[in-house]
Amino acid sequence: MLGLNTQKELGAVARRGLVIGYCRVSSSGQKADLERQAEVVANYCEKQRYQFRIIKDIGSGMNYKKKGLQELLRLVCEGGCSKIVVNYKD
């Protein structure tokens, strides 16, 4: 995902840790928006030179059992991510 050129850059990424981009829409009819969100978040992460991973979910914001959200929470609780990037905070 990143085009790192030097050992110094690799070390900086390792110290910062994994960044998770979390993208969600409410329904499958919004898949195009989900892909657009993922692209915007990925572009931002690349510009920031983050080592990142995108997690996508389809489902209500009130549903806390979404697969992607559960994975995100697990990573946070296990110390597996240093930052979360979202396109919309709702």
Is 80's pLDDT higher than 60?
yes
pLDDT category at 62 given cuts 50, 70, 90 is confident
Note the pLDDT tens digit of each residue in 1-56.
Answer: 444 544 555 445 445 689 999 999 999 999 999 999 999 999 999 999 999 999 99
CB 68 within 8 A of CB 55: yes
DSSP string, 57-70: EES-TT-TT-HHHH
Catalytically annotated residue among 26, 27, 28, 60: 26
Q: Which H or E run includes 10?
A: helix 7-16
26 counts as catalytic: yes
pLDDT score for 16: 63
* Residue 73, helix vs strand vs coil: helix
* Domains, the chain, with CATH or none: 17-86 (3.40.50.1390)
pLDDT score for 2: 45
Nearest Cα residue to 58 out of 40, 73, 38, 42: 38
